[in-house]
Amino acid sequence: MALWSLAVKSLRNRRQTALLTVLSIAVSVCLLLGVEKVRHEVRAQFLNTVSGTDLVVGARSGSINLLLYTVFRIGDATNNISWNSYQEFANHPQVSWSIPLSLGDSHRGYRVLGTSNAYFEHLRYGGGHSLRLQEGRVFTELYDVVLGAEVARQLNYQLGDQIIVAHGGGQVSFVHHDDQPFTVVGILAPTGTPVDRTLHVSLEAIEAIHVGWHSGMPSRRVSAEQLAKMDLTPKTITGFMVGLKSKVATFQLQRQINEYRREPLSAIMPGVALQQLWSLIGVAEKALLVVSALVVVSGLIGMMTNLLSSLNERRREMAILRSIGARPWQIAALLMSESLALTFAGLILGLALLYGGLLAAQPWIASQFGFYLSLGLPGPGDWLLMGAVLLAGLLAGLVPAAKAYRQSLVDGLTPRI
């Protein structure tokens, strides 16, 4: 206890250098723990992009490709599926609800999704959160559109604005449905999922804007009066999501869909496909964690360098300690105690910086990106990292401690100035 008190007093005597060392360690620890926290939160929210959906169904393709275009609106379907096939499985005795999905159009780089009101009722994300309107209402009329939060924010759209949908899903399109503008009637609250980057319209609207088209190009104009008399039930859709009455039936229905003989279909469990996708893209988060760990190592090396550089200046101090009975191993222990004290102080300050930053940035991150960073206590992984940093700090103190031990043996009571 006296050794620890002496180490603290020694650091207080060199407070400026000590404070800079503590600040360096604190910033590196804040970065390390911040990356770890964001990594876990992103992983959890990524894996909960779709929550409560038992199966996602589309044309026959790989599970990751099907997940990408139905959930993340990335890429295109290998083929569409017939409305009759969708109806057959939507009315299956084991199916509680279904959400049809129709993709293929876009607006200024954002995908347009044709769906039904079941989308707003049953789609869940982030462990069970339902979609919530920030403004307005869901679509009820043919040319109503509900915007995701990012679309409205980035393109500065308000309720009542009119937008023109383009044919195709690319950033640039030369074919627009300019004769049938949509009116913004609702804006969804941020979710931190692909919903934020999507424009939502009814399936009938998707069908209506393509009436009179042939081979991807308009061949004739259709008036509103003619559309009102038409049956706008879609003939094909891109895919659909399914919620089952019993989880036990998941594998049974998945097998039925995959073996469906009328047309080639694929049914995937989104949780499994999300895990497969994360295993492919999760390398970046591990690399970022390694970089953060290296920053901590550099901070500890800086601390070790400071302790080593101060040894020559402190030889008289150590000689005085020897004169009052301190043994060489106690001199070495003093240096290790100082190293441990600096590391511990850096950890505490780093935690304070992290949680202060999270507290300040949490509302802004949630409103801008729909990404919620929790302020809970450090998890087991965080404690393990902090323990590793303390151990590394203690080990970093071994080098100056060993040198101080040798010097105290050589110098005795006659230090060399």
Is 273 part of a structural domain of the chain?
Answer: no
Same domain, 74 and 181: yes
* Average pLDDT of the chain to the nearest whole number: 82
Same domain, 191 and 138: yes
pLDDT above 90: residue 212: no
Is 199 part of a structural domain of the chain?
Answer: yes
Is 275 part of a structural domain of the chain?
Answer: no
- 340 compared with 135, residue with greater pLDDT: 135
268, 301, 335 — which closes off a domain?
Answer: 268
Identity at 132, one-letter amino acid code: R
Strand runs (DSSP E) across 73-109, as ranges?
A: 81-82, 95-107
pLDDT digits (tens, 9 = 90+) for 318-355: 666 655 666 666 666 777 787 888 888 889 998 999 88
Going by pLDDT thresholds of 50, 70 and 90, the confidence category of residue 103 is very high
Same domain, 315 and 238: no
Same domain, 59 and 160: yes
Same domain, 62 and 36: no
pLDDT above 50: residue 299: yes
Q: Read off the pLDDT of each residue in 91-105 and give the average, rounded to a whole number.
A: 93
For the whole model, what pTM was predicted? 0.73
pLDDT above 50: residue 60: yes
222: DSSP letter: -
In DSSP terms, 213 is beta-bridged to 218
Report the chain's terminal Cα–Cα distance, integer Å.
31
Nearest CA to 100 among 267, 241, 271?
241
Angle, CA 397 vertex, CA 394 and CA 399 arms, to 5°:
135
pLDDT above 80: residue 194: yes
- 209 compared with 316, residue with greater pLDDT: 209
pLDDT value, residue 369: 62
Is 277 part of a structural domain of the chain?
Answer: no
Is 324 part of a structural domain of the chain?
Answer: yes
pLDDT value, residue 76: 85
Same domain, 142 and 259: yes
142: DSSP letter: T
Is 416 part of a structural domain of the chain?
Answer: no
Angle, CA 53 vertex, CA 49 and CA 56 arms, to 5°:
90
pLDDT digits (tens, 9 = 90+) for 263-286: 999 999 998 888 888 887 777 777
Same domain, 211 and 238: yes
Report residue 147 as tokens.
């915007």
pLDDT value, residue 335: 73
Q: Which residue segment(s) compose the domain that 290 sits in?
A: 2-46+283-411
Helix and strand numbers, DSSP H then E, in the chain:
15, 17
Phi, psi of 57 (to 5 degrees): -120, 140
Same domain, 76 and 216: yes
pLDDT digits (tens, 9 = 90+) for 400-414: 777 766 666 555 545
Handedness of CA 177, 178, 179, 180 (dihedral sign): positive
pLDDT value, residue 297: 83
How many domains is the chain built from? 2
Is 417 part of a structural domain of the chain?
Answer: no
- Alpha helix stretches (DSSP H) within 218-269: 224-228, 250-258
268, 300, 322 — which closes off a domain?
Answer: 268
Q: Read off the pLDDT of each residue in 132-137 and give the average, rounded to a whole number.
A: 94
pLDDT above 90: residue 309: no
Same domain, 241 and 373: no
